[in-house]
């Protein structure tokens, strides 16, 4: 399930001094980046459900991008 900026459970788990990196749906590179992360996580033995969730998120973001082509762009 994708999360919005108002529903960020993974951010609540991060330590106060832990670096984080946010990917936005408008970023044309986001689905590819998520799939690369999923492949790396899978290769290192991450739980299958977590890898599948990431793949579904990439699919959902691609659909959002198709539905909102005027809002999709390269990172700036």
> Is the model's pLDDT at 6 over the cut of 60?
no
H helix and E strand count, the chain: 3, 0
Domain ranges across the chain: 9-71
The predicted model scores a pTM of 0.83
pLDDT tens sequence across 11-66: 788 898 999 888 999 999 999 999 999 999 999 999 999 999 999 999 999 999 99
Predicted pLDDT of residue 69: 98
Spatial CA neighbour of 51 closest among 40, 61, 67: 40
More confident residue, 12 or 6: 12
């Amino acid at each position: 399930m994708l999360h919005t900026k108002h529903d960020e459970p993974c951010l609540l788990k991060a330590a106060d001094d832990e670096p984080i990196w946010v990917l936005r749906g408008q970023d044309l590179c986001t689905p590819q980046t998520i799939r690369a992360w999923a492949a790396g996580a899978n290769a290192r033995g991450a739980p299958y459900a977590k890898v599948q969730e990431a793949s579904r998120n990439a699919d959902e973001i691609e659909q959002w991008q198709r539905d909102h082509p005027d809002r999709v762009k390269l990172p700036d």
